[in-house]
Amino acid sequence: MARKVLEVNDLTIKFGGVTALNGVTIHVDEAEIAALIGPNGAGKTTIFNVVTGYYAPSSGNFLLDGKSLVGQRPHAIARQGLSRTFQNIRLFGDMTALENVSTAADGLNKSGLIGSLFGSPRSRRDEFNSRKKAESLLQFIGLEHRAGQLARNLPYGDQRRLEIARALALNPKVLLLDEPAAGFNPQEKSELGQLIRKIREVGHSILLIEHDMSLVMDVSDRVMVLDFGNKIADGKPREIQRDQRVIDAYLGVADHDS
């Protein structure tokens, strides 16, 4: 059995009287592309916000590589290898593409501000490494020709891909993708599918939130379905497509009384 990289156990989070997640248990295996689907408001992005340390869960825990992340700050979680993209693009707009990626790459360097000020050997090495890493990631994602452009001036599709490159700069064990195909045409979607597979090949596990079912069914090894904060299904793409509860969640339930 494959090793679980990311485990989320019995996670519950309440906002006032609303239970956004109700005892959800999910996991991502090593070298797996897992998908998280569900109707709008099912709690998919909330899971991302909890495991990346933005919201504190009401109960439950989550572990990366067997180590609990509960109670840690977002930057600390990111540095341990859990990074994400955003549903609505959130790049550092006034920074160049290269700077966007190297800012994230800096997170893995230990050198501090005093070292940077006086140019300590370690800070110089770190600067060099951040830059090299950012350049190679831009190349990996196919944006090397955009390195010197401001993120906000990039075309839409390039912005989405730049977000992925930025998240990869933290060497994530698990990469969380939040609707990466939103606004893409079929051609771009199929390129994205290839990119997601390529990311898995270089050693990252992936948890994908996506509404485009053909993409989800195409790239995922396993699909988990959320509805109203509950996990209602977990299985191979083909099984999910035939699961009655999933169909009900998406299409609504026929009135059984009549």
Partner 1 sequence: MKKILVLFNPRDRFGDWWDRATSLQRGMFRLVLIGLFFALPFINNPVIDTPETSFESVLFYPLVMFAIMAVGLNVVVGKSGILDLGYVAFFAIGAYTQAVFGIFTDLNFWLVLLLGMGFAMLAGILLGVPALRLRGDYLAIITLGFGEIVRIIAVNTEAIGGAAGLTGIPSPPPILGMEFSVQDLRPYYWLSLTILLLVLWGIVRLSHRKPGRAWEAIREDEDVAAFMGVQTFRYKLWAFVIGGAIGGAAGVIYASQILSIEPKMFELNLSIMILACVVFGGMGNIWGVIFGAVLLGYLPEKLRFLTDYRILIFGILMVVMMNLRPNGLIPRKKREVILEKI
Closest by CA to 152, choosing from 242, 76, 90, 104, is: 90
Least CB distance to partner 1 at residue 29 (A): 23
Q: How far is the CB of 64 from partner 1 (least distance, A)?
A: 14
Applying CB under 8 A, the span of 21-29, 64-72, 148-156, 191-199 interacting with partner 1 comes to 148-156
Which tokens go with 50? 């909890």
Nearer to partner 1 (CB atom), residue 148 or residue 252: 148
- 34 near partner 1, rule: CB under 8 A: no
94 makes contact with partner 1 (CB under 8 A): yes
Provide DSSP, 32-84: -EEEEE-STTSSHHHHHHHHTTSS--SEEEEEETTEE-TT--HHHHHHHTEEE
Q: Does 75 bind partner 1 (CB under 8 A)?
A: yes
Task: Tell me, residue by residue from 96 to 135, as one string, x for binding to partner 1 by CB under 8 A and - for no binding.
Answer: x--x--xxx-xxxx-x-x--xx-x---x--xx--x-----
How many residues are present in the chain? 258
Nearby residues of 50 by Cβ (< 8 Å), 6 or more positions away: 8, 11, 13, 21, 56, 57, 62
Contact criterion met (CB below 8 Å) for 168 and 84: no
Contacts with partner 1 by CB under 8 A lie at 52, 54, 73-75, 78-79, 83-84, 86, 90-96, 99, 102-104, 106-109, 111, 113, 116-117, 119, 123, 126-127, 130, 145-150, 153, 166-167, 169-170
